[in-house]
Amino acid sequence: MNIYFHIPYCKSKCKYCAFYSETLPPPAEYVEYMLQEMKEILSKTVEPVSTVYIGGGTPSALSPQQLRQLVSTIVAECVPEEFSIEVNPADITQELLEALQGVTRISIGAQSFDDEILQFLGRRHTKADICHAVELVKTAGFSNFGLDLIAAIPSMTQECWEKTLDAAVELSPRHISIYNLSIEEGTPFFRSGLMPISDDEAMEQLALAQSRLNVAGYGRYEISNYAQSGYECKHNLAVWHGEDYFGIGAGAHSRVGQSRIHNLDNWHNWLAAKQAGTTIPQNVEYLTEEEDSRERTFTQWRLLNEGVTFISNAPEKQALLKTLLEQDIIHELKPHTYALTMRGTEIADSIISAFM
Ligand code: SF4
């Protein structure tokens, strides 16, 4: 079983962010009710917990006391094989890291190693904060940490991107995630009329990242994720493999059996429902067996080293397969198992949809 805790709070809003989060100190009851819900879930199953992931928002917006309560209770109730948390480099202190005893994997939202770019993005940390945070993380004995980076940022030169990649590798993280900046409606970037860089430039940056990171010993195991061997994120792998996961907190998503559940974003309504002992506001979609299996296969296409087993006698599917193989968009990993090539990752969504 996999459990995700969502912390919909941030200390400030980044200019590109379209996610729901509140810029206020997380109330104490939020942590208490999340833990209460976890205990309810655990009391209804004998299945062991394989992975726990605390994401956001910004989990490190919780105070060290709140984090200690959250982490220590999770560890007391279950012993996950992997226990991850996302943190902002500006929040990392020795006190905060002491509160994370029991966490096995720390994901640091570095985003860039260029101070001007960080400021442009509206991040509240600097390059020096990232380096200091990593030093503290290592000193505290957390050897399994990762860095998140953003590519395709307008105004970022190729040289600046290369420096960011090199600076990230220099810190020897176990894992590196790279997401392209997208300019989403409702964000300050969108309102300012900022235009995205061209697809060709974005692909060039991703190709550069792949070659630099491969040389440095990081394998690209998922469209946006690289890791040293054995340090792939088990929680996300479980999700991409189509395993069930329970999402706890306002805005969290769950996938349980044939249901897709979205807890609605508003933390205030979530908390009010918890206080009143009523059902939390959520959207629940029930999928047919076919929809469920199709959706779970869909995510597996993201896994570049594993691929998807595909057998179909339908002439149109066979023709599609032949064309994609000829055009080097997919390749055959083993008989009847196919994965996206580097070229295929550039147009992943349309390729995946074609197989559905
Ligand atoms: S820290 Fe993350 S969730 Fe919070 S505003 Fe920035 S991008 Fe959004």
Residues 211-230 have pLDDT tens digits of: 999 999 999 999 999 999 99
Of the pLDDT bands very low, low, confident and very high (cuts 50, 70, 90), residue 288 is very high
Domain that holds residue 345: 307-356
pLDDT for residue 262: 96
Considering the domain architecture, whether residues 234 and 339 belong to the same structural domain is answered as no
Q: Above 70 in pLDDT, residue 290?
A: yes
**Residue 180: inside a domain:** yes
Element holding 299 (H helix, E strand): helix 289-300
CA–centroid distance, 245 to ligand 1, in Å, is: 23
Q: Please tell me the residue having the least CA distance from ligand 1 atom 5.
A: 13
Considering the domain architecture, whether residues 198 and 335 belong to the same structural domain is answered as no
Distance CA 88, CA 234 (A): 21
Considering the domain architecture, whether residues 221 and 330 belong to the same structural domain is answered as no
Using the 3D structure, point to which of 239, 271, 289 is the last residue of a domain: 239
Q: Above 90 in pLDDT, residue 339?
A: yes
**Residue 232: inside a domain:** yes
Distance CA 352, CA 68 (A): 41
Range 329-354 average pLDDT: 86
pLDDT for residue 345: 87
Write the pLDDT tens digit of every residue in 113-153. 999 999 999 999 999 999 999 999 999 999 999 999 999 99
Using the 3D structure, point to which of 224, 239, 254 is the last residue of a domain: 239
**Residue 275: inside a domain:** no
pLDDT for residue 356: 67
Q: Above 80 in pLDDT, residue 353?
A: no
CA–centroid distance, 10 to ligand 1, in Å, is: 6
**Closest-lying ligand 1 atom to the alpha carbon of residue 88:** 1
Write the pLDDT tens digit of every residue in 46-101. 999 999 999 999 999 999 999 999 999 999 999 899 999 999 999 999 999 999 99
Write the pLDDT tens digit of every residue in 41-54. 999 999 999 999 99
Write the pLDDT tens digit of every residue in 149-186. 999 999 899 999 999 999 999 999 999 999 999 999 99
Considering the domain architecture, whether residues 318 and 235 belong to the same structural domain is answered as no
**Residue 260: inside a domain:** no
Considering the domain architecture, whether residues 351 and 228 belong to the same structural domain is answered as no
Considering the domain architecture, whether residues 229 and 316 belong to the same structural domain is answered as no
Range 322-334 average pLDDT: 91
Burial class (CB in 10 A: 0-12, 13-18, 19+), 292: middle
**Closest-lying ligand 1 atom to the alpha carbon of residue 18:** 8
Pocket probe for ligand 1: among 7, 9, 21, 153, the residue whose CB has the most ligand atoms within 8 Å is 21
Residue type, 320: L
**Residue 297: inside a domain:** no
CA–centroid distance, 312 to ligand 1, in Å, is: 42
Considering the domain architecture, whether residues 219 and 318 belong to the same structural domain is answered as no
Write the pLDDT tens digit of every residue in 20-38. 999 999 999 999 999 999 9
CA–centroid distance, 13 to ligand 1, in Å, is: 6
- Ligand 1 pocket, Cβ-based, cut-off 6 angstroms: 10, 13-14, 17, 19, 21, 56-58
**CATH at residue 85:** 3.80.30.20
**Residue 277: inside a domain:** no
pLDDT for residue 309: 87
Q: Please tell me the residue having the least CA distance from ligand 1 atom 2.
A: 57
Distance CA 17, CA 250 (A): 17
**Residue 259: inside a domain:** no
Considering the domain architecture, whether residues 222 and 325 belong to the same structural domain is answered as no
Considering the domain architecture, whether residues 47 and 151 belong to the same structural domain is answered as yes
Considering the domain architecture, whether residues 114 and 225 belong to the same structural domain is answered as yes
Q: Which residue has the higher pLDDT, 107 or 346?
A: 107
Q: Above 90 in pLDDT, residue 343?
A: no
pLDDT for residue 21: 94
Supply 142's token pair.
């957390």
pLDDT for residue 342: 85
pLDDT for residue 38: 97
Pocket probe for ligand 1: among 6, 12, 17, the residue whose CB has the most ligand atoms within 8 Å is 17
Report the percentage of the chain scoring pLDDT > 90: 84
CA–centroid distance, 92 to ligand 1, in Å, is: 16
Considering the domain architecture, whether residues 33 and 162 belong to the same structural domain is answered as yes
Write the pLDDT tens digit of every residue in 263-275. 999 999 999 999 9
Supply 317's token pair.
């599917």
Using the 3D structure, point to which of 200, 215, 239 is the last residue of a domain: 239
CA–centroid distance, 122 to ligand 1, in Å, is: 9
Considering the domain architecture, whether residues 60 and 191 belong to the same structural domain is answered as yes
Number of domains comprising the chain? 2
Distance CA 219, CA 211 (A): 10
**Residue 42: inside a domain:** yes
CA–centroid distance, 56 to ligand 1, in Å, is: 8
Among candidates 219, 237, 240, which has minimal Cα distance to 228? 219
Q: Please tell me the residue having the least CA distance from ligand 1 atom 3.
A: 57
Task: Let me know how long the chain is.
Answer: 356
The span from the first CA to the last CA of the chain, in angstroms, equals 27
Q: Are 8 and 59 in contact (CB under 8 A)?
A: no
CA–centroid distance, 109 to ligand 1, in Å, is: 9
**Closest-lying ligand 1 atom to the alpha carbon of residue 16:** 7
